[in-house]
Chains A and B, each alone.
Chain A
Amino acid sequence: MTHGDFRPWISVCLLVATLAYVGCTREPTEPAKKASSPAPTKGQPTAESAPPATSSKLIANLGDPVGVLIISGERNGYMEPCGCSEDQSGGLIRLYDLAERLHQQKLPTAFIDLGGLIKNPAGARGGFEQTKIKLDFAIRALALLKCNALALAAEDLKVGVGETLGLFFNSLGETSTKVVVANVEPAETYASAFRKSVIATSGPVKLGVTAVIDPATLDQVIDPERAVLLPKVERPEDALPKVLADLESRSDYQVLMVQGPPELARRLAGAYPGFDIVVSTSEFPDPLNHDPELLNGGKTMLVTVGQKGKNVGVFGFYQGGDQAPKYQLVTLNKRYDGPAAAMKKLIQDEYRETLKGAGVVENILRHDQANAAPGSRFVGVDACKTCHPKTVEHWATTKHAVAFETLLKDPKPNTQYDAECILCHTTGFEYNSGWVSAEKTPHLLGNQCENCHGPASRHIADPDNVELRKPMVLTAERADKNRQCIQCHDEENSREFEFIGYESEIHHKGLDDYKDPKVHKPLILKNDARGL
Chain B
Amino acid sequence: MARWIILTVVVVVLTGAATFLVQYAPDSDSELVSPVVVKSGPQPKVEVSPDLMFDFGVMSQRDKGTHTWTIKNVGEGELELWLEGKPTCSCTVAELEVPKGEEGGAKKVVKVKPGDSTKINLVWETRNRENHYSQSATIGTNAAEKPSFTLAVHGLVHPPVMVVPPQLITLTEVSNETTTPARVGVFSLDRPATKVTKVTTSRPSLITARAVPFSEEEKKAFKTTTGYRVEIDIKPGMPLGRFQDEIVIDTDHPLQPETKITITGNVTGPISVVPERLRMPNVVGKQGATREITLLVRGGDKTKFEVAHKPDKVEVAIAPSNTGDSKGRYLMTVKVPAGTASGWVDDEIILKTDHPRAGELKIPVSIIVSNGSAG
Contact = CB atoms under 8 A, between A and B. Distances in A.
Interface of A: 5, 8, 11-12, 15-16, 19-20, 22-23, 26, 28-29, 31-39, 44, 47, 50, 53-54, 57, 60-61, 87, 120, 122-123, 127-129, 132-133, 136, 140, 143-144, 159-160, 162-163, 166, 170-171, 222-225, 227-228, 283-286, 288-290, 331, 333, 346, 350, 354, 357-359, 365-371, 374, 430, 478, 481-483, 486, 490-491, 495
Given A8-B7, A12-B10, A365-B244, A57 B200 contact: no
B154 A288 contact: yes
Interface stretch (B24-32, B109-117, B216-224, B308-316): B24-32
B247 A128 contact: no
Contacts of A290: 138, 148, 150
B344 A357 contact: yes
Q: Which of B7, B34, B53, B107 has the largest count of A CB atoms less than 10 A from its CB?
A: B34
A31 B29 contact: yes
B368 interface: yes
B27 A54 contact: yes
Given A54-B30, A283-B132, A288-B154, A37 B244 contact: no
A225 B274 contact: yes
B329 interface: yes
Given A23-B21, A123-B264, A133-B279, A36 B132 contact: no
A31 B35 contact: no
B265 interface: yes
Contacts of B275: 132, 159-160, 162-163
B92 interface: no
B128 interface: yes
Interface stretch (B64-72, B81-89, B181-189, B348-356): B81-89
A285 B312 CA distance: 47
Contacts of A368: 202-203
B262 A39 contact: no
Contacts of B292: 162, 166
Contact of B86 (A87, A123, A371): A87
A170 B22 contact: no
Q: Which of A133, A283, A286, A374 has the largest count of B CB atoms less than 10 A from its CB?
A: A286
Contact of B242 (A35, A140, A224, A365): A365
A82 to B, nearest CB: 10
Interface in B134-153: 134-136, 138, 140, 144-145, 147-148, 150, 152
5 contacts: A8-B4, A11-B7, A288-B134, A365-B243, A483-B256
B197 interface: no
B311 to A, nearest CB: 14
B35 A38 contact: yes
Interface in B231-283: 242-248, 254-258, 260, 262, 264-265, 272, 274-275, 277, 279, 281-282
Interface in B1-58: 3-4, 6-7, 10-11, 14-15, 18-19, 21-24, 26-30, 32-36, 38, 52-53
B211 interface: no
Given A12-B7, A39-B35, A367-B244, A491 B89 contact: yes
Nearest to A365: B244
- Cβ-closest 10 pairs across A and B: A31-B32, A284-B134, A222-B172, A123-B168, A365-B244, A35-B35, A19-B18, A32-B33, A370-B202, A288-B152
A225 B321 CA distance: 12
B167 interface: yes
Given A12-B10, A57-B33, A224-B274, A120 B168 contact: yes
A22 B127 CA distance: 44
A430 B132 contact: no
Contact of B136 (A159, A162, A286): A286
A374 B202 CA distance: 9
B154 A481 contact: no
B119 interface: no
Nearest to B204: A374
A123 B85 contact: no
B18 A346 contact: no
Contacts of B344: 357
